[in-house]
Every structure is written in C-alpha cells, then in structure tokens.
Amino acid sequence: MRFFICFINFFFSSISPNIHEDDLIVYNDQKKEFEIKKDLTSLIDIENTWHNLKIYIDRNLSDTEKQNFYTTQGIVEDFKYLRHKKNILKNQSFNMLKQWSKKLQTSICQVENFDGENITLKIKQALLIEANRSRSHAYAPYSKFHVGASILTRSGKVYSGCNFENAAYGNTICAERSAIAKAVSEENRGISLQEKQDIVAIAVVLRGGIGSPCGNCRQALYEFNPDMLVIMSDIDGENIIEKPLHELIPYGFGPISFDNAKVE
C-alpha cells in the first residue's frame, strides 16, 4: 500500500488553497489519490483514507522523529483518537494532525493585516494550528499528555510553547506558561506587555477534550490581560470554545489589585 502515496505531496501542494476547513479529505482507491468531498462517503473510502493518511504522515516524519518514542507514539495515539471519535476526517482535523511532521508543519511568526482587535476566524484557525505544531514538541514522557499553546500580541506577533515534564512532578511547566515566558523573554518588555495588555489571545490544544488552561495558567495569563480571548480546542480543531479570560477566572487577582489597595 505504501506506493499509493507517491504523488500525495504534489497533490496537497496543488489543491491546498482551494480546500475549505469543513471539506472532507478522502482517499480514492481506484485513482490512487486523495480527493475532496463535500458530504459523507462510504465506509470503504473512510477506511482507505485513514490507512493512507497514516502512511502519508509516517513518510514525512524525520528520522529523528521516528527514533523518538514519544513523538512516534503521540502521532499513533492521535490517529487512534480521531479515527475512533470521528470516522470522517475534515480538512481542519487533517491540518492539525499533520503538525507532527516537521516537513508538513505550518509555522506562523506574525499575523498579517492584524489591527490588534479583529481576531478573525482565519487568525483563530492559524493560532490553533500553531498551538498544535508546538504541541508536537511536548516533553511528556510520564503523562503522555501533549499540550500546545500559542499567544497572539497586539502587534500581530505569535509565540508558542508546549508542556515539559520533570521526574520531580512539581517542576513540570504547562504549555501556556511556556508560551508566556517566550513572549516576555523575546519581547524583552514584560512590564510593557502587562501595562498595555498587549497579549490579546491565546489558543490551547490538547487531546481528549477542550484545551482548558489549569488554574495556575489562568492566573499567569490574568497577569497580562484579564480580557484576552482564550481559544480552547481538542486536536480535531472543530469543536472550539472561546471565552474571555475573566470568565475563566472570575474575581481574579492581578496587578490592579495592588493599585486599588494603595493609599496616597
């Protein structure tokens, strides 16, 4: 079956601009190629699609990725999870899934034409894909629980992070705080980020439900902007919840609490 995908790279590079997020990607066994469909397909087509998509991703994994047990195991678990959960594969799910491969990863450094306020659907989807790209780098040998996060600043810059665990569990760092640390260190202006509330959105992706930040991460995010948009998603990239941070941590404690307590 492996020879079926010899033209897949060319196929996806040629059709990607015309694919919509809700389109179905289906492998046609007769034509030996992937096709785009708008509606449900047969069980045989579904099975062939999953079989050949797994080969496609595996073919594009680097030698280092193949030698890394956790990365390889992670993509296998992602495949099993989506396969059992959904049966059919939408384009958004495929874009999320292929972030395991360095050759196929979609990395964004800056959002184009962003005014600091209008976070469009396209920007949200890009943030989710970037969060999942970072998720593929997670160091989670103990929990096998990979998480990725991407932060969007008012200037349009994007910073991403993943969780990394430690044998002393208390030293584990979550993806959200990893992304915050990157934004603060690379911008070299933590005070300015906080005072101007320049972090306007964060996307969080994990497998097994909505990617809701833990309490520690909510508090860390609250430090920089209680009103930032939190985009939470499973790895399918379809069932998404969006909330302003202040709804996830009501009556939160932050820098303004110190200002309110001052007596002149």
Give residue 175's domain range.
121-258
pTM above 0.75, yes or no: yes
**Does residue 54 lie within any of the structural domains?**
yes
Which candidate in 33, 77, 112, 176 is catalytic?
A: 176
**Does residue 115 lie within any of the structural domains?**
no
Residues 59 and 158 in one domain: no
Residues 165 and 222 in one domain: yes
- Whether 176 is a known active-site residue: answer yes
Look at residue 106 and tell me whether its pLDDT is greater than 60.
Answer: yes
CB 148 within 8 A of CB 134: yes
CB 202 within 8 A of CB 173: no
11 alpha-carbon distance from chain centroid: 24
Check residue 235 and give its pLDDT.
94
Q: What are phi and psi of 53, to 5 degrees?
A: -65, -40
**Does residue 112 lie within any of the structural domains?**
no
Instruction: Report which of 127, 131, 146, 160 is spatially closest to residue 208, judged by C-alpha positions.
Output: 146
Query: What CATH code is carried by the domain that includes residue 240?
Result: 3.40.140.10
Distance, CA of 10 to CA of 1 (rounded, Å): 18
Q: What is the pLDDT of residues 39-85, one digit of tens each?
A: 766 777 777 888 888 888 888 888 888 888 888 888 889 988 988 88
Q: What is the pLDDT of residues 119-160, one digit of tens each?
A: 999 899 999 999 999 999 999 999 999 999 999 999 899 999
**Does residue 92 lie within any of the structural domains?**
yes
